[in-house]
Amino acid sequence: MYKIAVVGAGPSGASAGYHLAKNGHHVTLIDKESFPRDKPCGDGITPQSVRGLATMGIEREYVKKFASEYHSWNSALLGINDRDYFYKFSDGDLGFCIPRYVLDHLIYERAIEAGCIPHKQSVNNISQFSSDFKQEFDYIVDARGIFAGECNLIAIREYWSLPLECLPSKYHSSLQVYFDISLGISGYLWIFPVALNDKLLKLNVGCGYTIKEYKQNKKNLISVFENIIANHRFASNLLPHVVTRTKKKVYPLAMTKWNNKICDRNIFKVGDAANLTDPLTGEGIGNAISKSAQ
Ligand SMILES: Cc1cc2nc3c(=O)[nH]c(=O)nc-3n(C[C@H](O)[C@H](O)[C@H](O)COP(=O)(O)OP(=O)(O)OC[C@H]3O[C@@H](n4cnc5c(N)ncnc54)[C@H](O)[C@@H]3O)c2cc1C
């Protein structure tokens, strides 16, 4: 059995810590933040993420019982330029949305229950950390997210709350993703339902595009986002009904890249640190959880 430091306690670090501790290793789970903590995200949990969470005993019923905010989805709308393609899944509830403030805390708690020792510390240089603590740790898992990975996409997110009846019912439990040419070839706008509180539907609204196109555009991401939602055929109709809007948060993403080096001597990278986000969908939680389990 090994002594292992997992640095970063987001979905990848906490999942890696959970599985390592369950397998009898001595795990110290280090993060610079105290949990619960926010992480800008679309909050979309896909079937892959649902399966990954289940390996840690975080089944759908568990999430429903313990999560303060949660909303399942059963359909998806894909908008490409002016055309919309709506798909209702026959399997019923496939995935859900849950604010990361809530989800990451659930996974973190599972890791601690499994035996991980929590420790608050900022580790800026992982090689230095490895050599400074070579007596204490046989292996290091680098799960510091995008700050240890390579940033190749930039995104912005905010939350809107509006009366449920202001949204056509077919969108109440639907993930909406719109590819918009103003965001370049791979950029998109998303609108995801994350919670229903007292007949107010909370939506996660955001957009992202590649760093390359962002630099070519030379436009501020906040004004790009404001412009898109003000002119968008669906989002612009919601805007007059929005009761509360949170502060916008800009955050980078780490999409998969070729020849990705994820291991260096006794240091292994997982999740965004290893650039494991899907380049097409922007989904990173599924790989963060399931690859950490392996
Ligand atoms: C705007 C946006 C929308 C997204 N939407 C979705 C979506 O809808 N669905 C989806 O599946 N994925 C989505 N993603 C991707 C997803 O958020 C990431 O893939 C996922 O968070 C990766 O998890 P992680 O544990 O690797 O990293 P993180 O969640 O970033 O966790 C890293 C942890 O490391 C800690 N840390 C960082 N630096 C240090 C340090 N120096 N010392 C100690 N600790 C440190 C942090 O505090 C944090 O807790 C989105 C990403 C963005 C930015």
pLDDT bucket at 219, cuts 50 / 70 / 90: confident
Ligand 1 geometric centre to CA of 233 (Å): 30
Query: Looking at residues 119-128, what average pLDDT do you find?
Result: 97
Residue nearest to atom 26 of ligand 1 (CA): 271
Q: Give me the pLDDT at residue 93, please.
A: 62
Q: Does the CB atom of residue 251 touch ligand 1 within 6 A?
A: yes
Q: Does the CB atom of residue 205 touch ligand 1 within 6 A?
A: no
Ligand 1 geometric centre to CA of 10 (Å): 6
Task: Look at residue 77 and tell me whether its pLDDT is greater than 80.
Answer: yes
Task: Look at residue 173 and tell me whether its pLDDT is greater than 70.
Answer: yes
Q: Does the CB atom of residue 189 touch ligand 1 within 6 A?
A: no
Query: Looking at residues 200-205, what average pLDDT do you find?
Result: 97
Ligand 1 atom closest to residue 254's alpha carbon, by position in its atom list: 19
Q: Does the CB atom of residue 99 touch ligand 1 within 6 A?
A: no
More confident call, 61 vs 180: 61
pLDDT bucket at 92, cuts 50 / 70 / 90: low
Q: Does the CB atom of residue 17 touch ligand 1 within 6 A?
A: no
Q: Does the CB atom of residue 149 touch ligand 1 within 6 A?
A: no
Task: Look at residue 279 and tell me whether its pLDDT is greater than 80.
Answer: no
Q: Does the CB atom of residue 19 touch ligand 1 within 6 A?
A: no
Query: Looking at residues 190-197, what average pLDDT do you find?
Result: 95
Domain covering 153-253 in this structure, CATH number = 3.30.70
Task: Look at residue 227 and tell me whether its pLDDT is greater than 90.
Answer: yes
Q: Give me the pLDDT at residue 53, please.
A: 95
Query: Looking at residues 270-285, what average pLDDT do you find?
Result: 85
Q: Give me the pLDDT at residue 276, please.
A: 86
Averaged confidence pLDDT in the chain: 92
Task: Look at residue 82 and tell me whether its pLDDT is greater than 80.
Answer: yes
More confident call, 213 vs 239: 239
Domain ranges of the chain: 3-70+98-150+256-293, 153-253
Ligand 1 geometric centre to CA of 176 (Å): 21
Ligand 1 atom closest to residue 277's alpha carbon, by position in its atom list: 19
What is the share, in percent, of the chain residues with pLDDT greater than 70?
Answer: 98
In the chain, the amino acid numbered 157 is R
Q: Does the CB atom of residue 286 touch ligand 1 within 6 A?
A: yes
CATH homologous superfamily of 3-70+98-150+256-293: FAD/NAD(P)-binding domain (3.50.50.60)
